[in-house]
Structure 1
Amino acid sequence: MKWKTTLVLLTIALGLAVYIKFFESKRPNTEEAKRQAQNVVNFSREKIDGIVIQNGDDKIDMRRRDNKWRLETPIKDQADNSLIENLLFDLESWQKDATIPTKQIEAEKNKLNEYGLSRPKLRLKLLGHDAPPEILFGKDGALEDKMYVRFENSKETFLAAQSIKKDIAKKPEEFRDKKLTDLISAQVSRVVLKTGAGEMELQKKGDHWEIMKPLRARGDDQKIGDLISQITTAHIQQFVADDRGDLHPYGLAEPRGSITLFTQDDKQGQMLQIGAVSEKEKDQVYVRFSSRAFVYTLPRKTEDLLNTRPNDVRDRHLVRIDTNILDRMTIDAPGKGKTVLARKGENWTIASRNNTPANSSEVHRLIETLQSEQVTKFTEDVASDLPKYGLDKPQLQLTFSSFASENTAETKAGERPFATIAFGKGDGDNVYARLGDEPFIVAVRRGLLDQIFTDPLQWQELAIFRFKPEQIHSFSVVTDKELSLVHEANKQWTWQKGSGTIDQINVQSLLNTLAMLHAVRWVGAATPPHAFEKSQLVATFATSPDDKAMHKLTVGGAAGDGMWFARADEHEGTFLLSTLDLNALKLPLVSQSSPSPSQTPSVVTSPSVGPK
């Protein structure tokens, strides 16, 4: 039986060890214990759900609900959360400077009276689980910024800093939240603005705002956000009165207007009514806020909200393009055919020309230009007379589409247009336009049309040749004379036509330029008159030893701005070549003769000046 006794004793010992370890883990360590012993009061901030301040006959009662503090007595209103959290923080770090034990207090009967702690006017009570006893505040101590305090259930007295007294010896109004609302702009999903001019309703759909009344239109996200922020960041200047009395003195019996903010979960909304300008404070205006049931004053600029009109918050961007779903762009110019640009990974092709590579940078530039383009004028809110603006037969139409190559459960194969822009007649510096799914007619700058190429050749990639210099086997350059060179088996360049010492550096520079030649931009199929009437340069080169893979570049007349008209046999259309590239192609291939000794300038040395 001894082994059973031993087992029982071991079990008891193990259980005792676990209990001791658990108990010790819950006790503060030495440093923490010292800190707590020095504190005037110890409590858990998270467990405090009420604060009562008694200051003579005045009582201030504040309660925390849903992590928000509210005043309950003597007025019901939002409390200043930051002010209360600061009070709790100060209480947590409130230290004793000296302790007067109970025995010493009891030894001298009038000691509490001397410290002002017999019947103190100022008291602080924390409410909540494990809350400390009520704290009584007495007279100021002899030391600067110190005072006497004790707990309700103890005569032991402490000398401590006056910081807590300063935190709580306030009027009830000082604990009220001067921030008008605890809403943040991101929570607002609907806005209703009512003024003498009518009613305007704004609603957020997805990531963007829309105007719902008095017309349906895209809203300007930034401007509507700024409008909402004027309410959500507004700070009360004065607490005037509750809203149960006569509101005529404040112009709120019949307010000049109102703005109501709604969240997804709040169907009633928070309404701000705007009344008269304060007679005493001309820079303030009376307001009434429904969720707080009081009359306040706000900065007078708040009344500017009443001047907001639909066009003030309309999105002035011509079009919104969701690049995440954009797969195709169709440019349709009557009489010029259609150009279809298709996305292929990160690049673009000209789908209407057998998916030849497009100048992807130019496509991205057009998309960015259209996304940032703003209308110059909202011309008509109802597009009832399209011929008047040339929009019955637009001169240019852009269509943006997504594309699915196969049927899926969500979509069918093929193009799915999601936005169309039609451009009509010009009017001075503007041209009329209309977005397909909107009933409005707007004006945009005429110069935008010049940035939308209607010739598919203008969308070609800028690379004219894609070779390595060492792939060129032979070449000839014709300017005012013809020079031809061939790369022999010994890897040396020799003349086919020409003579003299070959300038190897210039030859290499010419080959580097020619092999990777890029256009500045494409002019298109239409060649300007006289562009190639007189050639500046004709370069031909072979990329195979048998001269079967031949390539030809012709550079014509000047195009202005330091550019030249050019064409290559393997590309359709005319492009612009930079002067820098043309100069590289015209470098002299014959080495310049070295200067003779007689031409070498002599070096003249100045006589040195020595010490006298």
Structure 2
Amino acid sequence: MRRSVWTVATGVVFVGLLAVWAVWMRPAGSRQAPGTTVLEVEPAEVQALVVEHRDGVTVEIQRDGDGWRIGRPRPVPASSSAVDSLLRALAPLEARRVIASGPSDGEGDGTVDPAAFGLAPPQAVLTLTLADGSSRRLRVGDPTPVSQGLPAYYAQDERSGAIYTIDAYVAEQITGSWESFRERRLVPLAVDDVRLVRIRRDGVTLEARRDPQAPVAERRWRLMAPYQAPGDTQAIESVLRDLEFARIGRFVDDEPSADALAGWGLASPRAVIEVEYVASEQAETTATVVVMVGHEADEGSRYVKLAGSPSVYTLPQSDLQAALEAAADDWVRRRVLGLARSEIQRISIGMEGRPGPYTLERDPQGGWRLAPQGEALETGEVESWLDSLWRLQAEGVAAVGRGAQPPQRSTGGQATVIELTVAGHDGVPVTRLVIPVPLQAAAGDGGSAALRRVYVEQGQDRLVYEIADDALRGIEGVIAKWTAPEQGAGSSPSASR
């Protein structure tokens, strides 16, 4: 009990001493300032900002179209979010306390020395130039020792001469490093606007293009180098999304020497990433950014530089990993069919050693019929099967182009391949798949390989995919059900397993 009383008493004494110290440190005549405005500007009216630091550094920021650009100490892009954040804080800037009122209200006694608050000279002077040509200036001094339990700084409005305390988060935006206003976004692009990506690394060029006429939602990329093939959207756009959200870690040097560039691995870059994107939909203009990647810098980062700019930065390794590890085979489309389910109008089915071909076709009412019998199939079953076909993903790519050959048919009368020819709404065949049926399964021994090689032909493309056997069994089973003779379903490949 005595210990509890002693603890409470100690706390009371501590709080009392803290209050006495706060009052003692508070300048005479200061008062709380609820609702007192230090500075008020309309952000849209501000055309330029100048911050003059006590150490002699001057930062000049000019409005540039819809954004901002730094003119001094170096002409570099500005972070619109950083500048706009400061301007929003000034619309209006509220005082925490009034230290000394200006002569305009008659309350000042003239005895307050601005130097006592770090205001003569100040840490920084902010000058705002407005659209009408007028300007407002705010001086920011030292941090306060105590201000209602929250960090604050002394500040002075040059127009009135009054001295206030203001929130630290506003003051520190003004007094902080000029680099806090620099743009940290590496490249100004959005994935939806990209039309080309090219990576040169280790003597190999990897290039993919997207059809500029195709809707963005279709996301149809094409691998152009080192060979041509349908592109894999997810793999290609993982590189682009990393670049879209890449943020500069450190500003290394804005005027590097040739020796410094060589030391950072930027004279002969480890990789060069080139991206072409739509800069203006209205003007139908494109722009290109080129990112050069050098040696490792700090742990987990690399030196980078944009072509056409002298500045060198560091970028997190994670923002470059997909580009540095990209390979042609990984950029080849893994979705086997390459069509949306809604695009499919007709599928011709052929099975070696079986009557056929069969044709699965959409009727005018949206249902499905199987020829030559003309049998109406259950719509739900067909749609589910089409989903399985559309979702069919390859585990790997075994061959592309001339090296891609369809599997050989058997001459033994057994069904050894299934051929699907998929046509779109215009009736023109779009995709041909040749699926091998494992011989051991057809022979009825129950065995099957983990992967099967499926030949796919789409337009000018020829590919051989490696597909998990389990993913194909369900597709084959439905085909066997549709094409089996009324009394001979047991002869289907699926039934024999």
Q: Provide the rounded CA distance (Å) in 1 between the counterparts of 2:480 and 2:270.
A: 60
Q: Provide the rounded CA distance (Å) in 2 between the counterparts of 1:122 and 1:369.
A: 65
Q: Which residue of 1 aligns with 2:408?
A: 390
Q: Provide the rounded CA distance (Å) in 2 between the counterparts of 1:82 and 1:350.
A: 60
Structural RMSD (CA): 3.5
Q: Provide the rounded CA distance (Å) in 2 between the counterparts of 1:392 and 1:319.
A: 25
Fraction of identical pairs, as percent: 19
Per-residue deviation, 1:396:
2.8
Is 2:94 the partner of 1:80?
Answer: no
Q: Provide the rounded CA distance (Å) in 2 between the counterparts of 1:82 and 1:456.
A: 57
Cα 1:362–1:431 change in 2 (3 A) is: farther
Q: Which residue of 1 aligns with 2:311?
A: 294
Q: Provide the rounded CA distance (Å) in 2 between the counterparts of 1:377 and 1:348.
A: 32
Count of residues in correspondence between the two structures: 423
Q: Which residue of 2 aligns with 1:128?
A: 130
TM-score, structure 2 normalization: 0.74
Per-residue deviation, 1:95:
1.4
CA contact (8 A) 1:135 1:151 kept: yes
Q: Provide the rounded CA distance (Å) in 2 between the counterparts of 1:424 and 1:82.
A: 57
Q: Provide the rounded CA distance (Å) in 1 between the counterparts of 2:232 and 2:393.
A: 11
Q: Provide the rounded CA distance (Å) in 2 between the counterparts of 1:450 and 1:114.
A: 83
Q: Which residue of 1 aligns with 2:368?
A: 348
For 1:449-528, list aligned pairs within 5 A. 450-452=473-475, 458-459=481-482, 524-526=486-488, 528=490
Is 2:40 the partner of 1:42?
Answer: yes
Q: Which residue of 1 aligns with 2:16?
A: none
TM-score, structure 1 normalization: 0.61
For 1:231-242, list aligned pairs within 5 A. 231-242=243-254
**Structure with max Cα Rg:** 1
CA deviation string 1:526-564 (max 9, x = no partner): 1559xxxxxxxxxxxxxxxxxxxxxxxxxxxxx999xxx
CA deviation string 1:62-99 (max 9, x = no partner): 22323222222112223233322221222224213326
Cα 1:349–1:453 change in 2 (3 A) is: farther
Cα 1:45–1:320 change in 2 (3 A) is: same
Cα 1:141–1:283 change in 2 (3 A) is: closer
Q: Provide the rounded CA distance (Å) in 2 between the counterparts of 1:155 and 1:527.
A: 97
CA contact (8 A) 1:391 1:425 kept: no
Q: Provide the rounded CA distance (Å) in 2 between the counterparts of 1:257 and 1:343.
A: 49
CA deviation string 1:214-259 (max 9, x = no partner): 1111121112121112222222222111255221110111111111
State the AA in 2 paired with 1:262. E
CA contact (8 A) 2:196 2:275 kept: yes
CA contact (8 A) 1:255 1:275 kept: yes
Cα 1:227–1:523 change in 2 (3 A) is: farther
Q: Provide the rounded CA distance (Å) in 2 between the counterparts of 1:158 and 1:448.
A: 71
For 1:43-122, list aligned pairs within 5 A. 43-56=41-54, 57-96=56-95, 97-98=97-98, 100-102=101-103, 108=110, 111-113=113-115, 117=119, 119-122=121-124
Q: Aligned match of 1:251 in 240, 265, 279? A: 265
Q: Which residue of 2 aligns with 1:309?
A: 327
After alignment, is 250-259 or 323-332 more displaced? 323-332
Cα 1:435–1:76 change in 2 (3 A) is: same
Structure 2 unaligned runs (5+)? 1-32, 280-284, 440-447
CA deviation string 1:274-305 (max 9, x = no partner): 11123xx2332211123653111122342562
Cα 1:262–1:237 change in 2 (3 A) is: same
Q: Which residue of 2 aligns with 1:212?
A: 224
Q: Provide the rounded CA distance (Å) in 1 between the counterparts of 2:264 and 2:192.
A: 31
Structure 1 unaligned runs (5+)? 1-34, 405-414, 461-521, 530-558, 562-612
Q: Provide the rounded CA distance (Å) in 1 between the counterparts of 2:171 and 2:238.
A: 40
State the AA in 1 paired with 2:488. A
State the AA in 2 paired with 1:58. V
Q: Which residue of 2 aligns with 1:18?
A: none
Which secondary structure state, in structure 1, belongs to the residue aligned with residue 122 of structure 2? coil
